Amino acid sequence: MSIAQAEMLSATPDLTAATLRRALIAGAQRVMASRDELNRINVFPVADGDTGSNLAATLGSVLQGTLSRRSRHIGQLLVGIGNDAIDGARGNSGAIMAQFLFGLAEHARNAPVLDARALAAAVRGGADSARAALAHPVEGTIVSVISAFADALDEAARQQPESPRRGFAQALQRARRALADTPKQMALLQKAGVVDAGAKGFVDWLEGIAEFVEGGPRAVRMQGAVPHAANDAVELQAHVHEDIDPARRYCTECLLLGQGMDREQLQAALGELDIDSLVVAGGASRIRVHGHVGSPQLLFDACAAHGRVESMKADDMLMQQRSVESPHRVAVVTDSASDLPQELAERYGIHVVSARVSLDGRDYLDRLGLTAGEFYRRMATSRQLPITSQPPSGDYRRIFEHVLGHQDSAVYVGLSRPLSGTLQSAEAGARGLTKPLVVFDSGHATTGQALLAWRAGEMAAAGADAATIETELIRLRPLTMTWAMARDISHAVRGGRIPRWAGPAMRWSGLTPIAAVSPDGLLKLVGGLFARRKAADAFAHYLTKRVPKVAGWRLIVGHADALADGERLFAALHERLPVVAGHLVEVGPAIGTHAGPGTLVVGLQPAP
């Protein structure tokens, strides 16, 4: 007989912290092993193929936190688990699961052990809390299965209060039946021929716990895949993709920290906004918010009125869906410092990881949380200069795991290593991945980096493999040119991109400075122009005298809050050079922080 079985069948049948901790570890491992299957059957609320990844990440934060330490008090164990889950929750199902665990902890925080009735009451509290976290609960989803499990546990506790183990087994059977019923409750699932992915993830979690109860510590040491835990009555088929609402394309989340926060009040405030799949999970000191919106900043701003906003993320579900639908195509990823035109990102399905911008004491997601136009307006009146930081490695990890969960390989085209720690952050996020991922140092920034990402996306769309794309990028890197003309280089000097002596020298001489990205990936001053009013034309003339003769150029012109100058420069370069394809883009906050308003940027690359 195993240790767990002996403990559960002993004269004192109460559930202890040691047993619960080991059982929950087994449950979390089960979900993580089922991640790919859950991703495959994910159709609700949108078919973006990430439910398994989100549940695995949510429970992974618990595994790395409270469950990594021993505990003798169930209440303290569960409180730690609830807080870890809220802090690390990802996605719709992850947030609901986190709120279930948080609510369970709220009802058991003072209990050193749990008998059958106390366990059932705590689970009921978690189920009610999970349902209350949803603005519009939908039957046939994870909340339905959680409720069925809680109902059955209540019944078992009344009938057999002496046996938590037997009650759990009966409740698990009810949860399995509720999972099998999810296609009957939702036409979308029935059409796709699948059960609800979030609901199945919850049952997988229960199955892992049950396996520990039956097999003891062996279940905690489980490695590799596990047998399917879903009912046999529903055959899992390739699911049908439903259209994602373009008006609410961003799966947006944040963590809200504070004291005495009112979750219901926040939920009511967010409910008045145009937010779909809204989940507000947590309590007075920490709240996880999830929703599908067209403007992530809409959600972040509403949350900021109630507490301190942290751990922001906004995933483009349209791009995620394209990954799901392109299993044999190389995924291409870049970062927001590339200033990649949205048209190109859409055309070639290029994923963009957002940098962070701090302005007026608040952090924003580059472009998604703070548009370029709003950034420059705020920058003009702010008493503090903005600060940028590279995307955290977790943001890269999330994108890489998603695309590689559905596609065979990926290429990341990153900001020049000498200019930022962005590339190192991507490398950290890529560690341990099981599928091929090329982390490519573009040696450029802004428009030059965008040109290389453009070429990578184009080749991927044509069917090239990752090695072929990398070879082409290596060839093009020294042929690609990135130039910038700045009205005011004080921002670049402050950020260390331009040497300090350059500022006084340019002001004294009256020159408008010109910089270029050097072959070693650094931004260096290369000249200046005595032209203030017609600077755009003078810049075009300067460039045409210095670029080599080629049959055709690809051109991207960027402007930092200087649309008229950008248009003049774009037109002038078209007149002077054999441009075969070109784009005009507004330079985003990640680059604009260092370039400053009025800056013009040019990227040129020989056309294929």
For 128-204, list the strands marked E by DSSP.
Answer: none
pLDDT score recorded for residue 494: 54
pLDDT score recorded for residue 233: 34
Q: State the Cα–Cα distance between residues 402 and 353, nearest whole angstrom.
A: 13
**Tokens describing residue 287:** 């709240």
∠ at Cα 312 (306, 313), nearest 5°? 140
Q: Which residues are within 8 A (CB) of 104 and not within 5 positions of it... i.e. 6 or more apart? A: 78, 82, 122, 123, 125, 126, 129
Instruction: Write the DSSP string, 76-115.
Output: HHHHHHHHHHHHH--HHHHHHHHHHHHHHHHTTTT-SSB-
Q: State the Cα–Cα distance between residues 317 and 50, nearest whole angstrom.
A: 10
Q: Which residues are within 8 A (CB) of 295 and not within 5 positions of it... i.e. 6 or more apart? A: 250
Q: Of the candidates 565, 572, 578, which has an alpha carbon nearest to the alpha carbon of residue 605?
A: 578
Which residue bears the tokens 């184009």? 458
CB-based burial label for 567 (10 Å; 0-12, 13-18, 19+): middle
Please report which helix (H) or strand (E) contains residue 536, including its range: helix 535-544
Write down the H helix ranges in 227-383.
Answer: 263-271, 296-304, 317-324, 342-348, 372-381
Would the CA dihedral through 374, 376, 377, 378 be positive or negative? positive
Low-confidence ranges of the chain (pLDDT < 50): 1-12, 219-242, 509
Secondary structure (3-state) at 544 = helix
Q: Which residue type sits at 373?
A: G
CB-based burial label for 227 (10 Å; 0-12, 13-18, 19+): exposed
Q: State the Cα–Cα distance between residues 512 and 536, nearest whole angstrom.
A: 11
Which residue bears the tokens 């150029």? 553
CA distances from 458 to 352, 465, 483 (A): 15, 12, 23
Q: Which residue type sits at 186?
A: M
Q: Of the candidates 466, 515, 453, which has an alpha carbon nearest to the alpha carbon of residue 488?
A: 515
| In contact, 237 and 37? CB cutoff 8 Å | no
Q: Which residues are within 8 A (CB) of 508 and not within 5 positions of it... i.e. 6 or more apart? A: none
| In contact, 366 and 588? CB cutoff 8 Å | yes
∠ at Cα 215 (210, 218), nearest 5°? 115
pLDDT score recorded for residue 234: 34
CB-based burial label for 239 (10 Å; 0-12, 13-18, 19+): buried
Which domains does the chain show, CATH number per domain? Answer: 3-219 (1.25.40.340), 246-319 (3.30.70.120), 479-606 (3.30.1180.10)
Secondary structure (3-state) at 351 = strand
How many other β-carbons are positioned within 10 Å of the β-carbon of residue 399?
27
pLDDT score recorded for residue 531: 65
CA distances from 111 to 41, 70, 76, 78, 190 (A): 38, 16, 8, 10, 42
